[in-house]
């Protein structure tokens, strides 16, 4: 027997309070939904900015000697800023924020575990990212001309990583310790499971990144003997922005798909244990990440050399790819069992997941030595697929949980349109870079390469893709704003969903559940409304 409390709580809307009081509330709040929304909001702002930078880089590559947008000296700094903002301004905080906002509700907790740590996490990440931006503006960052500002870049990066780490610790602890009675780890919703996996993987890999930053800072400040000067910082730090570290951050993106797919198909998730295992398998990316090396398949040399290279390649690059494939495949099985259908959140999540697969698979290809893609813009294409794919999936998640976070349901058709446009944008922003990679266009560079011929076209397309993504995010944020301004209108369970967060009012009250629910399956809501279930 499953008992579910569906009490009607007080709305978290603050009406009539002054601007100062409202700012004070946001600054001091330990409500996980507020902290999560802060993460999400700021990440989306960065998403717009980073897409604009991507567009600039694409257009600049048409004719670097013309220097339309920035001078040659700034090229290295701008490409590095682009990489940084893609991964730690957009991808990582967007999912940590979504997890902080949603996971406690999903697992039936009244609050997030370690709420003030989550708060510290947001402000640490935000201020650290500010320091990074200041350092770039003041001629710092990798390749920067001001030594102090290069230091500041490293220190700011360290702080923002520490902030993300704090958020990840908070999320992982919530799933591990604050589940509703009766909810074993096997029963946690797919997104919460992916949040746990992603957070644990972050907790295991981010300290290594912070350690790298620490030794780079000490060396850069005091001697510049062990790790070189400002230009080569990212030789040592590059892995933090590259695959497989980025895979650690997209576990939750596939979790979003796994969460939404069975709800859309109106069925219980088939092969649920396999799905959870698939998600868990993606976190083997951590193993590759902490080694801080790209494991390239090298088929030259003796048989022994070939064998060892193949084993390493398959182990470090193959396992995450396998995990991602399994996850997407099993999630899509819902549609075989349930009834096919589509809505905006599912479309975003699915298209995002496909883009991610393209990225993960691309990374796999990139690490095949004979393809000669290492050091080319193919890597940029992989990052773009992964990050923008993650962005699409996250927008799907935001659309899905908007009723609980803002009390609104977004216009399905409009969002569906944006999903389609976003898909085009991502493909444009990424695929041409794959092609350009085969033409040996260098990675993270603008100058010293002949972009004439078809390459110009590819870069124009990539730039245009980034511009489209910027527009999509802008339009999405506009839609969300408009909906929130219009006011609440969402019912408690608009999607006819399976998990605990849909048992409480929309938007969710500050303390989530007035009384704890006791659950006995992985789809507790379905247990109490069996009539709506499509027979398996």
CB of 18 to another protein, least distance (A): 15
Assigned token pair, 293: 């090396």
Of 54 and 238, CB closest to another protein: 238
Binding another protein (rule: CB under 8 A), the pick from 185, 214, 342, 372 is 185
In whole angstroms, give the CA distance from residue 80 to residue 141: 8
- Regarding 163 and contact with another protein (CB under 8 A), the answer is yes
How many Cα atoms occupy the beta-carbon half-sphere of 13 within 13 Å? 14
Binding-site size, another protein (CB under 8 A): 73
How many C-beta atoms surround the C-beta of residue 520 within 10 A?
14
H or E element, residue 163: helix 147-177
Of 193 and 241, CB closest to another protein: 193
- Regarding 36 and contact with another protein (CB under 8 A), the answer is no
- Regarding 497 and contact with another protein (CB under 8 A), the answer is no
In whole angstroms, give the CA distance from residue 267 to residue 535: 8
Do 34 and 26 form a contact (C-beta atoms < 8 A)? yes
String marking each residue 132-161 x if it binds another protein according to CB under 8 A: ---x------------xx-xx--xx-xx--
Assigned token pair, 431: 């695929």
Of 135 and 246, CB closest to another protein: 135
Assigned token pair, 398: 């935001």
Closest CA relative to residue 312, chosen from 296, 289, 291: 296
In whole angstroms, give the CA distance from residue 260 to residue 329: 14
- Regarding 372 and contact with another protein (CB under 8 A), the answer is no
- Regarding 111 and contact with another protein (CB under 8 A), the answer is yes
Do 255 and 191 form a contact (C-beta atoms < 8 A)? yes
User: What is the footprint of another protein within residues 271-330 (CB under 8 A)?
Assistant: 276, 280, 283-284, 286-287, 290-293, 308, 311-312, 315-316, 319
CB of 123 to another protein, least distance (A): 3
Instruction: Report the C-alpha dihedral over residues 109, 111, 117, 121, rounded to 10 degrees.
Output: 90
Of 2 and 30, CB closest to another protein: 30
Binding another protein (rule: CB under 8 A), the pick from 45, 110, 298, 318 is 110
Binding another protein (rule: CB under 8 A), the pick from 510, 521, 527, 533 is 510
CB of 57 to another protein, least distance (A): 27
- Regarding 214 and contact with another protein (CB under 8 A), the answer is no
Cα–Cα distances (Å) from 321 to 92, 245, 250, 341, 400, in that order, read 19, 13, 12, 27, 26
| DSSP output for 426-438 | HHHHHHHHHHHHH
Assigned token pair, 196: 């746990």
- Regarding 2 and contact with another protein (CB under 8 A), the answer is no
Q: Left, alpha or beta for 356 (phi > 0: left; psi -120 to 50: alpha)?
A: alpha
* 376 three-state secondary structure: strand
Assigned token pair, 534: 């499509």
Binding another protein (rule: CB under 8 A), the pick from 119, 192, 199, 267 is 119
Neighbour-count burial of 500, counting CB atoms closer than 10 A to its CB (0-12 exposed, 13-18 middle, 19+ buried): buried
Of 177 and 491, CB closest to another protein: 177
CB of 26 to another protein, least distance (A): 10
- Regarding 11 and contact with another protein (CB under 8 A), the answer is no
Cα–Cα distances (Å) from 459 to 55, 244, 283, 356, in that order, read 9, 25, 33, 21
Binding another protein (rule: CB under 8 A), the pick from 337, 492, 496, 511 is 511
Binding another protein (rule: CB under 8 A), the pick from 40, 49, 101, 200 is 200
- Helix residue spans in 291-411 (DSSP H): 303-313, 319-337, 344-366, 378-405
Do 373 and 440 form a contact (C-beta atoms < 8 A)? no
- Regarding 518 and contact with another protein (CB under 8 A), the answer is yes
How does DSSP classify residue 266? T
Of 117 and 457, CB closest to another protein: 117
- Regarding 130 and contact with another protein (CB under 8 A), the answer is yes
CB of 121 to another protein, least distance (A): 8
CB of 138 to another protein, least distance (A): 9
Of 464 and 519, CB closest to another protein: 519
* 442 three-state secondary structure: strand
CB of 162 to another protein, least distance (A): 8
Q: Cβ neighbours of residue 351 under 8 Å, at least 6 residues apart? A: 392, 419, 422, 423, 426
Of 224 and 293, CB closest to another protein: 293
Stretch that binds another protein, among 73-81, 92-100, 106-114, 350-358 (CB under 8 A): 106-114
CB of 9 to another protein, least distance (A): 12
Of 34 and 266, CB closest to another protein: 34
Of 160 and 343, CB closest to another protein: 160
Stretch that binds another protein, among 120-128, 401-409, 446-454, 461-469 (CB under 8 A): 120-128
Q: What percent of the chain is helix, strand and coil (3-state, nearest 5)? A: 70, 0, 30
Of 200 and 461, CB closest to another protein: 200
- Regarding 190 and contact with another protein (CB under 8 A), the answer is no
- Regarding 21 and contact with another protein (CB under 8 A), the answer is no
- Regarding 251 and contact with another protein (CB under 8 A), the answer is no
């Amino acid at each position: 027997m499953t008992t579910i409390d569906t009490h009607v709580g007080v709305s978290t809307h603050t009406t009539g309070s002054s601007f100062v009081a409202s700012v004070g509330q946001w600054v001091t709040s330990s409500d996980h939904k507020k902290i999560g929304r802060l993460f999400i909001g700021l990440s989306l702002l960065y998403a717009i900015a980073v897409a604009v930078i991507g567009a600039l880089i694409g257009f600049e590559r048409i004719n670097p000697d013309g220097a339309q947008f920035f001078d040659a000296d700034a090229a290295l700094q701008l490409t590095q800023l682009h990489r940084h903002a893609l991964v730690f301004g957009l991808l990582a905080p967007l999912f940590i924020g979504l997890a902080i906002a949603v996971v406690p509700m999903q697992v039936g907790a009244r609050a997030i575990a370690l709420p003030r740590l989550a708060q510290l996490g947001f402000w640490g990440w935000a201020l650290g990212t500010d320091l990074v931006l200041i350092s770039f503006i003041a001629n710092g960052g990798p390749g920067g001309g001001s030594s102090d500002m290069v230091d500041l870049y490293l220190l700011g990066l360290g702080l923002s990583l520490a902030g993300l780490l704090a958020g990840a610790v908070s999320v992982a602890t919530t799933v591990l310790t604050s589940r509703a009675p009766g909810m074993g780890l096997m029963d946690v919703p797919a997104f919460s499971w992916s949040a746990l996996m992603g957070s644990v993987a972050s907790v295991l890999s981010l300290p290594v990144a912070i350690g790298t930053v620490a030794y780079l800072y000490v060396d850069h400040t005091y001697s510049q003997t062990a790790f070189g000067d400002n230009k080569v910082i990212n030789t040592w730090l590059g892995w933090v922005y590259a695959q497989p570290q980025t895979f650690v951050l997209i576990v939750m993106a596939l979790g979003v798909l796994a969460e939404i797919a069975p709800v859309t198909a109106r069925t219980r998730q088939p092969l649920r244990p396999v799905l959870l295992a698939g998600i868990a398998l993606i976190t083997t990316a951590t193993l590759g990440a902490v080694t801080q090396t790209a494991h390239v398949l090298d088929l030259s040399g003796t048989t022994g050399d070939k064998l060892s290279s193949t084993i390493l390649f398959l182990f470090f690059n193959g396992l995450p790819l396998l995990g991602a494939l399994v996850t997407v495949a099993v999630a899509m099985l819902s549609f075989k069992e349930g009834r096919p259908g589509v809505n905006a959140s599912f479309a975003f999540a699915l298209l995002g997941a496909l883009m991610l697969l393209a990225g993960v698979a691309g990374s796999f290809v990139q690490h095949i030595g004979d393809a000669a893609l290492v050091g080319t813009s193919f890597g940029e294409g992989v990052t773009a697929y992964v990050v923008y794919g993650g962005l699409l999936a996250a927008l799907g998640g935001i659309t899905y949980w908007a009723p609980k976070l803002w009390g609104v349901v977004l216009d399905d058709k409009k969002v569906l349109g944006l999903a389609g446009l976003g898909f085009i944008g991502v493909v444009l922003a990424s695929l041409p870079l794959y092609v350009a990679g085969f033409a040996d266009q260098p990675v993270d560079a603008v100058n010293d390469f002949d972009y004439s011929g078809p390459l110009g076209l590819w870069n124009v397309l990539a730039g245009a893709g980034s511009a489209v993504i910027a527009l999509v995010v802008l339009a999405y944020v506009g839609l969300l704003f408009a909906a929130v301004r219009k006011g609440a209108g969402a019912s408690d369970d608009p999607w006819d969903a399976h998990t605990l967060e849909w048992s409480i009012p929309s938007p969710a009250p500050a303390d989530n559940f007035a009384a704890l629910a006791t659950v006995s399956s992985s789809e507790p809501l379905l247990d109490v409304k069996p009539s709506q279930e499509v027979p398996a």
